Amino acid sequence: MDAADLIIIGGGPVGLFGAAMARLHGMSSTVIESLPELGGQLYALYPEKPIYDVAGFYGISGKDLALRLIDQAEHFSPRFVLGEAVESITALQEDGLLYEVSTGLSTHRARAILITVGIGAFVPRKLPAQGADRFEGAGVYYLMPPLEHFRDRQVLVVGGGDTALDWTLAIAPKSRHLTLIHRRSQFRGQEESIRLIHESPNITVKTPYELVRIEGDHQIQAVVVKEVSSGAEERWAIDDVVGGLGFLPSLGPVKTWGLNLEGNTIVVDPSSMATNLPGVYAAGDVAQYPGKVKLIATGFGEIGIAIAQIRSYLDPTKHGLPHSTNLKGIPRP
Ligand X SMILES: Cc1cc2nc3c(=O)[nH]c(=O)nc-3n(C[C@H](O)[C@H](O)[C@H](O)COP(=O)(O)OP(=O)(O)OC[C@H]3O[C@@H](n4cnc5c(N)ncnc54)[C@H](O)[C@@H]3O)c2cc1C
* Residue of 20, 45, 129, 156 interacting with ligand X (CB under 6 A): 45
With CB under 6 A as the contact rule, which of the stretches 37-45, 173-181, 204-212, 266-274 interacts with ligand X?
37-45
Task: Verify binding: residue 156, ligand X, rule CB under 6 A.
Answer: no
* DSSP character at residue 263: T
**Which helix (H) or strand (E) segment is 66 a member of?**
helix 62-75
* Residue of 65, 69, 110, 166 interacting with ligand X (CB under 6 A): 166
Minimum distance, C-beta of residue 85 to ligand X, in the bound complex (Å): 4
Measure Cα distances from 202 to 120, 186, 273 in Å.
35, 20, 44
Going through 139-231 in order, the beta strands assigned E by DSSP cover 140-141, 154-158, 177-181, 203-206, 209-216, 220-227
**Which helix (H) or strand (E) segment is 5 a member of?**
strand 3-9
- Please give the residues from 77 up to 106 whose contact with ligand X meets the rule CB under 6 A: 85-86
Task: Verify binding: residue 21, ligand X, rule CB under 6 A.
Answer: no
Task: Verify binding: residue 175, ligand X, rule CB under 6 A.
Answer: no
Quote the Cα angle for 161-214-207, to 5°. 35
Strand partners, 155: 178, 240
With CB under 6 A as the contact rule, which of the stretches 22-30, 146-154, 259-267, 292-300 interacts with ligand X?
292-300
d(CA 317, CA 59): 41
Closer Cβ to ligand X, 22 or 226, answer by number? 22
* DSSP character at residue 286: G
* Residue of 24, 91, 98, 295 interacting with ligand X (CB under 6 A): 295
Please report, in angstroms and rounded to a whole number, the separation of the first and last CA atoms in the chain.
31
Task: Verify binding: residue 34, ligand X, rule CB under 6 A.
Answer: yes
Closer Cβ to ligand X, 131 or 144, answer by number? 144
Minimum distance, C-beta of residue 31 to ligand X, in the bound complex (Å): 9
Residue 30 CB burial class (10 angstroms; 0-12, 13-18, ≥19): buried
| Residues of the chain by 3-state class (helix, strand, coil), percent to 5 | 25, 30, 45
d(CA 257, CA 260): 9
Residue from 314, 311, 316 nearest 327 by CA: 311
* Residue of 120, 139, 189, 279 interacting with ligand X (CB under 6 A): 120
With CB under 6 A as the contact rule, which of the stretches 8-16, 93-101, 149-157, 269-277 interacts with ligand X?
8-16
Task: Verify binding: residue 127, ligand X, rule CB under 6 A.
Answer: no
Closer Cβ to ligand X, 8 or 226, answer by number? 8
Question: Residue 206: what residue type?
Answer: K
Minimum distance, C-beta of residue 154 to ligand X, in the bound complex (Å): 22
* Residue of 178, 266, 284, 305 interacting with ligand X (CB under 6 A): 284
Task: Verify binding: residue 40, ligand X, rule CB under 6 A.
Answer: yes
Task: Verify binding: residue 41, ligand X, rule CB under 6 A.
Answer: yes
x-marked contacts with ligand X along 304-333 as a string, rule CB under 6 A: ------------------------------
Task: Verify binding: residue 299, ligand X, rule CB under 6 A.
Answer: yes
Determine contact, residues 283/299, Cβ cutoff 8 Å: yes
d(CA 48, CA 45): 9
Site residues, ligand X (CB under 6 A): 9-15, 32-35, 40-42, 45-46, 49, 51, 53, 85-86, 116-120, 163, 166, 253-254, 284-285, 294-297, 299
